[in-house]
Amino acid sequence: MNDTNTTNAYLRSKVMSASPEELRLMLLDGAVKFAHQAKAGLEQSHPEMIYLGFTQCRDIVLELLNTIKTEPAPEIAQSVRELYTFMYSELIKASNDQDINKLNEIIGLLEYDRETWILTMEQLVKEREAGMVIPAAAPVPARQPISFQA
């Protein structure tokens, strides 16, 4: 088994055994990774990196948008939906205009969202340990990035 097959098997296993919280973190990690790939492509004038980075990042942001649950907090869900809609439209503009400044703003938003999600996950762990929340199917992961292949 070569390195690519090993990596793909590991990722498949990781995704299949992940809790919903972990899956969202993996999506955020992927969006950040591919946004950085698009940025590197813009800096290096590398069309394939630009295309793949923007395309993958947009697809992940769209997935994040489409998986927002309205309950138990419809107002928060609507705010998050608006944020992802904004990021998606800005990614399209940044891609069309090859605008690295706009892309940097999106990267900042994605990284902030990722850090906020990690803090939320940590709070959920504390609440579960205190018996305040129904236990999750899987434990919350340690702070380490997940590698995605383009």
Q: Model confidence over 101-111: pLDDT tens digits? A: 999 999 999 99
Domain boundaries, the chain: 22-129
What is the structure's pLDDT at 141?
Answer: 46
Residue 10: is its pLDDT beyond 80?
A: no
The string of pLDDT tens digits covering residues 42-93 is 999 999 999 999 999 999 999 999 999 888 889 999 999 999 999 999 999 9
Q: To which CATH superfamily is domain 22-129 assigned?
A: Flagellar protein FliS (1.20.120.340)
The rounded percent of the chain whose pLDDT value lies above 90 is: 63
**DSSP characters over 53-73:** HHHHHHHHHHHHHHT---SS-
- N- to C-terminal Cα separation, the chain: 19
Residue of 97, 87, 96 whose CA lies nearest to 35: 87
The 8-class DSSP code of residue 91 comes to: H
Residue 133: is its pLDDT beyond 60?
A: no
| H or E element, residue 107 | helix 100-129
Residue 39: is its pLDDT beyond 90?
A: yes
The amino acid at residue 47 is P
User: Is-contact 145 115, C-beta < 8 A?
Assistant: no
Is the pTM higher than 0.85? The answer reads no
What is the structure's pLDDT at 24?
Answer: 93
- The sign of the torsion formed by the CA atoms of 9, 46, 27, 67 equals negative
Averaged pLDDT score across all residues of the chain: 86
